[in-house]
Amino acid sequence: MKNEIFRENVIVITGASLGIGRQLALKYAELGAWLSLASRNTEKLKEISEECLQRGGRAIMIPTDVTDQLMCQNLIEGTVKEYGRIDTLINNAGLGMASRFDELQDLIIFEKVFKANFFGCVYCTYYALPYLKKTQGRLVGISSLRGIFPSATADAYGPSKHAMKGFLDCLRVELAGTGVSVTTIFPGWVSTGISSRALNADGSLTEKISIHEENAMSVDKCAQTILKAIAKRKREVVMTFQGKFGQWGILIAPKVIDEMVRKDTSIDN
């Protein structure tokens, strides 16, 4: 990939303080990008912003809770105020959940996860889209294999990722001819610690790494794959062989896929 593609490219990354978002920020900084980094964790956001500067990029930090529409608006407007435009929006912020639907005492946690994973993407995209149209930019959503396949549990994570996929698929069609590309990424398990930060039915954190995450794809490999896909303006990327196989399986034998997921939740992320 030519380094010049992202040199001085104005990139907004949500969920930039941890995991995939953090690694993407570092890689883009090395390519000379102008970054606007968003996260709820101000301390970690400051750390990653400083590291991006050391690696050769420009970086500003805008503390943002993507469940708050006004904060998403502020993120976009603050980015434009600093850089004058937006070239790429990466909707990466997300919240995990580890619970059966029938274990929920109410829907507060379900709604919280949906607001982070789905509406956070909608809010940021809404305010960024006029600027992306001006630059014929790139719109990106970091989904999950659970945005393609059924899950062993009906917690909010899988449904919210399905909703994100549907939104971006529709928006891709709507934006045809504008020059704005829409890329959706479907990672499998990645070693980011997301399983330890997932919410239980009562809203508490699981605070333990899932067995599936212990030997998962490295966050560096995942970020590198995403970066290449965004550069090429790919429609979508399904990262694992299991995921690619499952795409055909769900069309040909959906009941078989249902049973496989029920018995082995390794597809979940």
* SS3 at position 32: coil
Q: Which of 83, 123, 131, 157 is the catalytic position? A: 157
Number of CB atoms found within 10 A of residue 159's CB = 21
User: Which residues are within 8 A (CB) of 255 and not within 5 positions of it... i.e. 6 or more apart?
Assistant: none
Written as six digits, the tokens of 150 are 């059924």
What angle, 0 to 180 degrees and rounded to 10, lies between the N-to-C axes of helices 120-135 and 157-174? 20
Residue 127 annotated to the active site: no
Residue among 211, 201, 205, 202 at smallest CA distance from 268: 211
Sign of CA dihedral 137, 125, 47, 192: negative
- Residues serving a catalytic function are 157
